[in-house]
Every structure is written in C-alpha cells, then in structure tokens.
Amino acid sequence: MVLLITGANGQLGSELNNILQRGASELGALPAAYEGCEVLAVDVDELDITSPGAVDSFFSRHKPDLVFNCAAMTNVDGCESDEERAYRVNALGPMNLAVASRKHGSRLLHVSTDYVFDGLGTRPYVETDEPAPNTAYGRTKLAGEKAVLDSCGGSCICRTAWLYGYVGNNFVKTMLRLARENGRLKVVGDQVGNPTSAVDLAYQLALLGASRESGIFHCTCGGDPVSWHAFAERIVQRAGLAVPVESCTSGEFPRPAKRPAYSALENRHLEETIGNSMRDWKEALDSFLEQYLEQEKNV
C-alpha cells in the first residue's frame, strides 16, 4: 500500500509520518493493513496542492492508495489579512486532492478545524451541527470540507482543535518559553475548547485510514472542555514551573481574527463507528511534557 502525507513538515504531518514509518504509536500498534507500506511524506516544496496539474501528475506517477491531507494555512490572523491565499491552500488544495483521489482510486482523509463553527455554543459541537464560520480561516476550511465531500465520495473529514506536537510552534511550547522568560503568565480565560495532542490525532487518523468509514469525524482529546487559562495552568504545573498564571479576557488581547468563545467538539461519530482512541487531554498533555522536557535536556 502506498500512503501519501501532505504537509509532512508540520506538527501533525511529521507525527503521522513518524508512526507510519515505525508501525506503532505510543498509544499502540498500527493496524496490520499498514505492514510493508510505502510512505510518501511531502510538503509544498515537493507537491504544491494548489496546482491541479502538479497534483494530478504526482498521483499519476506514485498512485497513492491512501492520502492524509495535513497541509493547510493555519495562521488564523494571516488568513484574515490574505483570505485569497488562504482559500487557495485551504479550499482549492483539498479540492485538487479530492479530484485526483477520485480519478486515481485513492482514499482521502482531510484534516479540518473547530473554526468551522461560530463559537457561540454552550455544549460540545457534534458532527451534525450546522457550521457557521466567522473568520477567514474558518470559511476557507469549511470550503475545503465541502470540496472534498462533493468531489470524492468515501472521504473522511477529521476536525480537530488546539493542536500541539513536538515539531514547530504551538501553545504549549509558547507557555513554557514565556513562563521561563517572564516568571509569570497572563492568559485568556473566556475561550473554551479541547487541547489536542498530535500524537493522539495521528494515531486516530491511522485507525480511520485503515477502516472503511467515511464522512465527518470530530477528533480531539477528551475530558471536560477547558479554557486557555486553565490549559496554561496545567502546562506550567506539570513542567514544575512555579509561576503565577493570571486570567484575562479576550478583549485585553485583541487580534485581527475573532477567536471562538466556545468551540469544544464531541467525538460522537468515532464513538458510533470505530471507537474513540483519543485520550483525556490531561493525560495526553502529561505524556507530551514528560517526553518533550526530556528532549530539551538532551539538546
């Protein structure tokens, strides 16, 4: 079986490539379907998904059986200032992959986001809730979802949120750095969601890829939804950093793109099909910090 990972240099793509190459995750072994597979891990320098010709040519040469689209423009504020570029990457790119997948008989798993919802809810969103994005990032990602579902039947849309991993920048690493540099933190307490480890998401994607399921799936770590402030408190506590973490409002940190006040997701479709393998966010975070802090010592 030939596997294609786009966006392979990002925190999710790199983690997915890692477990597919090893045949196992810290959460467990991968399905037997992946034994002996060939993994094509590419980023924009090797495959520009916004070019339909480049995508079709790549598929013609390599004939992937399963495609994991981890490529995206995820800079939320950057999307707000350049929605045209965001649309090319987040909507036209997935459409090109979907059209090529249908033409060449590939199966496509496309990663999306909690930003497709307006954030005005009061309970975790399920897959059947109506999206209503109010940011350029959310609008372009929703357009990508629709393009995939319309262009390639049998595809999976995997929405996630508040992602962090070993590669690249993310909230966890930023909180550790600022806590060490400043000796205190000030973090918004009026935005609520699901912190999600790339380790857990990559493993769940691999399980979905080996299944015959299709449609929309929410894939976030479990446990009670939490604010960024409470998330930060857990990070510094488990890292052994005795620094105060002050709560503030979103209005004290104005950003070009409006952040959703409540964007927690429920993994209902996973529960109803292959099962939900995503850990409680606290357990996943503790595991990540243990390994990440050990890596820091050895650098």
Q: What is the mean pLDDT of residues 106-121?
A: 97
What distance lies between CA 258 and its chain's CA centroid?
19
**∠ CA(141), CA(73), CA(120), 5° rounding?**
45
- Contacts of 249-255 with CB under 8 Å at 24 or more apart are 249/188, 249/189, 249/190, 250/188, 250/190, 250/191, 252/186, 252/188, 253/188, 255/76, 255/77
pTM above 0.95, yes or no: yes
pLDDT greater than 80 at residue 21: yes
- The pLDDT of residue 298 is 82
| Domain CATH number, residue 78 | 3.40.50.720
Decide if 292 is inside a domain: no
Average pLDDT, the chain: 97
pLDDT at residue 170 is higher than 90: yes
Centre a 10 Å sphere on the Cβ of residue 122 and count the other Cβ atoms it contains.
Answer: 8
Give the mean pLDDT of 155-162. 98
Q: Which residues are catalytic?
A: 137
Residue 55 has pLDDT above 90, yes or no: yes
Q: Are 201 and 160 in contact (CB under 8 A)?
A: yes
Q: Residue 22, exposed/middle/buried by CB under 10 A (0-12, 13-18, 19+)?
A: exposed
Q: Which domain holds residue 85?
A: 2-170+196-223+264-279
Q: Answer yes or no: is 206 within a domain.
A: yes
Report d(CA 10, CA 43) in Å as an integer: 9
Please give the tally of structural domains in the chain: 1
pLDDT reported for residue 95: 98
Residue 178 forms part of a structural domain: no
Q: What is the mean pLDDT of residues 271-292?
A: 97
Q: Does 183 fall in a domain?
A: no
Instruction: Examine the pLDDT at 233 and tell me if it is beyond 90.
Output: yes
pLDDT given for residue 80 in this prediction: 97
230 domain-assigned? no
Q: Is 52 part of any domain?
A: yes
Band of pLDDT at residue 297, cut at 50, 70 and 90 = confident
Q: Is 242 part of any domain?
A: no
Residue 170 DSSP symbol: -
246 DSSP β-pair partners: 186
Strands 24-25, 28-29: pairing kind:
antiparallel
- Can you tell me the mean pLDDT for 267-296? 97
Confidence band, pLDDT 50/70/90 cuts, at residue 64: very high
185: in domain: no
* Percent over 70 (pLDDT), the chain: 100
Rounded Cα distance between 264 and 282, Å, is 15
| pLDDT 10s digits, 87-99 | 999 999 999 999 9
